[in-house]
Amino acid sequence: MWDINSGEELAILESHSAPVLSIAISSDSKTIASAGSDQTIKLWDVDSRQLLRTLSGNDGWVWSVAISPDGNTLVSGGEDGTIRIWSLVLNQISLEQGIGNRESGIGGRVSSKLVGWAKTVWFQ
C-alpha cells in the first residue's frame, strides 16, 4: 500500500502464494479485496493492514474482483469461465454461473457496475 499523495510505502500485504491479478477497494475505503493466481480472494482491513479472511472456491486463477457499494457483496471472474457472487455477510458463494471457457472473455471484465445490479441478474 502507498500513500497516493506522498508516494510513501505504507505497508506490504502478503498472504497470496502466487501473483495478485486484481484489486478492488470498497466504497468506504475500509476494505481491500485482492485476487490471484493462487485461486483465492483475500479481504484486508485498510486501517489495521490485517488479513480479514480468505475466500476459496475458484477453479483457476481469479482475474477480476469488484465490491458492491454497500460492501456486502463481491463479484469475481476467472480462468474457469465462471462468475461468482459472494455474500460477504454470510462468507459464502450466493450465486455461481459458468459463462464459458477461458477464451470467452470473463477475465478482467467484472466491474463495479455489475456488482450494482448483480442481485437481479438473470442468467440464461
Where along the chain do its domains lie?
A: 20-87
Sheet hosting strand 92-98, strand order edge to edge: 62-67, 73-78, 82-87, 92-98
> In the predicted model, what is the mean pLDDT of residues 20-46?
91
Look at 95 and 117; give whichever has higher pLDDT. 95
- pLDDT for residue 121: 43
**Overall fold of domain 20-87:** Thrombin, subunit H (2.40.10)
| Span 2-17, average pLDDT | 78
Which has more confidence, 52 or 120? Answer: 52
Q: What is the mean pLDDT of the chain?
A: 78
Amino acid at 122: W
